Amino acid sequence: MSFTAIEKMRQDNLQRFGRDLGPMQPVLTKATPSGNDLKSAALRFVHERCEDLRFSAEKSAEEERTGNYLGSSIKPGQIPYNMQMDIDRLCLERELEKFIDSGVAEDAYTVYYCFLEMFFGHYGKSKKMVELLSEFESNGSSLLMKHRDHYSHSVYVFALGLAIYETNSAFRKIFSDFYGLGAEEGDAAKDHAAACKFLEFWGLTSLFHDIGYPFELPFEQVISYYEVGGRARGDKDLYFSYKNVDSIREIDAQTQKQIKALYGRDIKNSDELLAFDIFSKLGETYGFTEESILECISNRATHPEKCDLFMDHAYFSSARLFREITRYLDGSALSRMHVDAVSAIMLHNSLYKFSVSFYKSSNAKAPLKAELHPLAYMLMLCDELQCWDRTAYGRNSRTELHPMGADFDFGGGRIKVTYSYDIEEKAKIDRYMDEYRSWALTKEGKEPRLKAYSDMYGKKQKFKNDIEKIVDTAVAPLTVLLDLKPADRSVKHTYISGSNFLHLYDFAVALNSRYSYQGREREVDTAQLESEFEGLSLEYQLSNINQAKSFAKYLNAIHCFYTDRPVDYEMIKAFTPQQTAVFAPMEHARWVREHISMGWSAGDEYDKLGKDKEERKALREQLRMHVLSLNGAPTDEELYQHYRSLPESEQDKDWLPFNSMLELIKKFDGLRIYQLQE
C-alpha cells in the first residue's frame, strides 16, 4: 500500500455504502516495478518510498473530532487533508513521469510547479525565481560562446538523485545517519520518513541549484566579445562586478535569531552562513579556515578578477534560494537541512573544484565523500552525470557533439550509464576518430577533441575520471559507455506556437475562469482570476495547466499558432465549427487519459448516493469516480467514439472554453492566435 490516505478513504466508503466503490489505489505506470532504469527507480521512489508525505496527524485528529474534512479538491472541505496530500504526491509522480519521457521545458515546468505548490505554499509566490532562468537562457544565451540549458537540466538532476537514493542502500544509510533520522533497512516507518525528508531537501538543492544563471549570463556576454576566434580571457579583458550585494545576501532579524538558536553564532548575511557551514563540514578534511573560505565566497560577485574572471552562478543561486526559503517559512523554524541545501548549491560549481579540492592540479585533494555533506555530494555527482538532452544555446555549443540520450542501470548500488549519440553525426565522429588515430601515432600538436564524445571515448575516459576526482564513487561505482542510435524527436511534441512560461500559467488561469465569465471576459480583474485559480487543489490546477500545454498541439491540428510577437498572419477571434470538430475530440481524449492516470474510475454512483448537489460533488471527489471517464486503456478510436456518444452539452465543454480563453488571454502580455496561410 503506497497511498495510505486514499486507501483509508476507500475503507471508509466501504463501511458507509457496503460496496467497494473506491477510490482505488493508484498504480505505478510506464515503469517497471523492480526496474533499475532512471524512470522506474525515480518514479518508484515517489510512489512507494515517500509514503505519508506531508501528512498531518493534527489535522486528521481534528477531522475525526469535528466530522469535517480539511482537504481541498475542486472546493475546500470535500476530502480529508491527508488524502489531498496523497493526491498531491501522485501529481508530482505523474508530472515527473511526463518529463522523463519528453525532457521538454514545458514538462519541466509542471515538475517545478508541483514542488513549489507542495513545499513553498503556492507557485505564485515564487514563480519568477524559476521562470526568469528559462527566459534568460532562451533569449540571451545565443550571445554566448558556450552555454547549454539549465532549466530542464535541473529537473533531470532531480530525477537522477531520486533514482540513486531509491537504488543505493549505502547512500540511504549515509543520509539517514548524517541527519539522525534513524532509518534502518526493514523499519518501514522511519524509511518512509527519511525518504520524505530527502525528497523535500534534495528538491530544494537540485531544482534550484542553477537559478543564479541570470546573474552570470550578462557577465559572460561581455566576456564573449573577447573570446571570438578562440582568444582566451585574460588580465586586459573588460569585465564587470556586482555592487550592493547586500540586497541579496542580507538576513532579516527573525532569521538571524533562528540561526543563533541553531548554531550558537551571530551571523548577519548569507556569505557568513555559507562560510560557517562549509568550514564546519569540510574545513578539517581539506585544510582551510573559515576566514579563507569566507573570502573566496565573498569574491564571487564583487571581485571576479580573483576568480579567474568567472562569475559564479552558484553564489547567486544559493543567496537567492536562501532568501526565498526564509520568505516561505514566514516565521517557522529554519532547519540545518535548509542551510545544507543552500551550502550544497554554493559548493557545486567552482568553489569546491577550484578553491577547496583543486581537483585539476597536481596536488589535488581527495574527492568529496558522501559522509561529509550528502546533499553536496549528490548534487555534484548528478550535475556531472546529466550531460544529455540539453539544448545548446551558445555559438560554439551549437556546433559541438553532445549526447542526445542516456540509459541508466542503477542495479546493485552501482551506476552504469550508456550515453547515446545521434547516428546522423557519424561522419563527424569518424572524422574525429581519424584525427585522433593520426595524433596518437606521433603525439605531435594538440590532441583532437569532439566534446563531449572525446571525453567519454577511449582509455582515458576523461569524463568518468573527472567525476571520480570530484566525488568519491566508492559508494556508487561508475561505469560509462557510448552508443550510436537514431534520434527520436517525436517525444518532444514541439510546435510552431511559442511564447514564455508565464503564458502557461496565464492560459491555465484563463481556462479555469471559462464558465464564470463567458461574455464578460474583458470586465474581470486578472487578480481575481488568479485568486480563484489558487483556491483549487494542485490536481485541478495541473489539469488546467496541462490543458493549456496541449493548446499548441490543438492549434497545430487546425493550422493555427499562438505567439506574443507581432506577425503578418490573420488573427483568430473565434474558432469555427470545422476547427472545433477537430480539436474537441482531442481535448476529450486528453481529459479521459488524465483521469485514468490519476486513478479516477468510471461511474455515476455519487449521483445516486448524494442527497443534494453539493453532497454529490463532494462524493465524486471522495470516490474519485466520474461519469464521463473510462476504465482501462482505451484506444484513440474508442476515445473518439466515446466523445461522439456524449450529449451535445458535454461535447461543447471540450471546445467552448477555448473561445472564452481567446478573450481572456488578451489580458495577459499581448498573446494572440493566428491562422497559418494556406
How do residues 281-319 score in pLDDT, each as one tens digit? Answer: 999 999 999 999 999 999 999 998 888 888 899 999 999
Whether 615 is covered by a domain: the verdict is no
Whether 56 is covered by a domain: the verdict is no
- What SS3 class is residue 345? helix
**What does the pLDDT read at residue 355?**
94
Residues 485 and 392 in one domain: no
Three-point CA angle 414, 415, 416, nearest 5°:
115
**What does the pLDDT read at residue 393?**
46
Q: For residue 389, is pLDDT > 50?
A: yes
**What does the pLDDT read at residue 561?**
87
Question: H-helix or E-strand containing 71?
Answer: strand 71-72
Structure-block grid coordinates of residue 33: 516495478
Q: pLDDT by residue (tens digit) across 615-671? A: 999 999 999 999 999 999 999 999 999 999 999 888 888 887 777 767 766 665 567
* End position of a domain, from candidates 489, 507, 541: 489
**Parent domain of 442:** 413-489
* Interval 33-53 mean pLDDT: 94
pLDDT band for position 395 (50/70/90)?
very low
- What SS3 class is residue 224? helix
Residues 275 and 345 in one domain: yes
Residues 480 and 334 in one domain: no
Please give the Cα distance from 214 to 65 (Å, whole number).
50
Q: For residue 501, is pLDDT > 60?
A: no
Q: Sheet harboring 560-563: ordered strands across?
A: 560-563, 672-675, 570-571
Q: For residue 110, is pLDDT > 60?
A: yes
Residues 219 and 290 in one domain: yes
Whether 447 is covered by a domain: the verdict is yes
**What does the pLDDT read at residue 524?**
66
Cis peptide before 188 (omega within 30 of 0): no
**Contact (Cβ atoms closer than 8 angstroms) between residue 277 and residue 300:** no
- What SS3 class is residue 421? strand
Whether 537 is covered by a domain: the verdict is no
Mean pLDDT of the chain: 87
Residues 163 and 207 in one domain: yes
Residues 276 and 319 in one domain: yes
**What does the pLDDT read at residue 182?**
87
Q: For residue 390, is pLDDT > 80?
A: no
**What does the pLDDT read at residue 34?**
80
Whether 596 is covered by a domain: the verdict is no
Q: Residue 49 has what DSSP assignment?
A: I
* End position of a domain, from candidates 375, 399, 423: 399
Whether 35 is covered by a domain: the verdict is no
Three-point CA angle 481, 486, 490, nearest 5°:
120
- What SS3 class is residue 561? strand
Q: How many domains does the chain have?
A: 2
200 versus 503: which is more confidently predicted? Answer: 200
Q: For residue 399, is pLDDT > 50?
A: yes
Residues 360 and 463 in one domain: no
Question: Would you state the torsion angle of the CA atoms of residues 149, 152, 158, 159, taken in this order, to the nearest 10 degrees?
Answer: -120
* Interval 147-172 mean pLDDT: 91
CA 46 centroid distance within chain = 14
Residues 322 and 256 in one domain: yes
**What does the pLDDT read at residue 371?**
98
- What SS3 class is residue 631? coil
Residues 359 and 476 in one domain: no
**What does the pLDDT read at residue 587?**
92
Whether 629 is covered by a domain: the verdict is no
**What does the pLDDT read at residue 487?**
82
pLDDT band for position 228 (50/70/90)?
low
**Contact (Cβ atoms closer than 8 angstroms) between residue 342 and residue 299:** no
Residues 344 and 460 in one domain: no
**What does the pLDDT read at residue 145?**
46
Structure-block grid coordinates of residue 665: 488571454
* Interval 581-600 mean pLDDT: 94
**What does the pLDDT read at residue 652?**
83
Question: Would you state the torsion angle of the CA atoms of residues 406, 411, 413, 417, taken in this order, to the nearest 10 degrees?
Answer: -20
Q: For residue 339, is pLDDT > 80?
A: yes
Cell match 488524465: residue? Answer: 594
> Which of 19-23, 211-215, 293-297 has the weakest average pLDDT?
211-215
Please give the Cα distance from 15 to 10 (Å, whole number).
9
**What does the pLDDT read at residue 530?**
81
Residues 184 and 245 in one domain: yes
Dihedral-angle region of residue 22 (phi above 0 means left; psi in -120 to 50 means alpha; beta otherwise) = left
Cis peptide before 26 (omega within 30 of 0): no
Distances (CA, A) of 212 to 151, 216, 380, 560: 11, 7, 16, 36
* End position of a domain, from candidates 468, 489, 510: 489
Whether 158 is covered by a domain: the verdict is yes
> Which of 251-265, 407-421, 563-577, 626-640 has the weakest average pLDDT?
563-577
User: 345-374: b or e for each residue (b if 16 or more CB lie within 10 Å)?
Assistant: bbbbbbbbbbbbbebeeeeebebbbbebbb
Side chain identity at 280, as an amino acid letter? S
**What does the pLDDT read at residue 414?**
97
Residues 381 and 454 in one domain: no
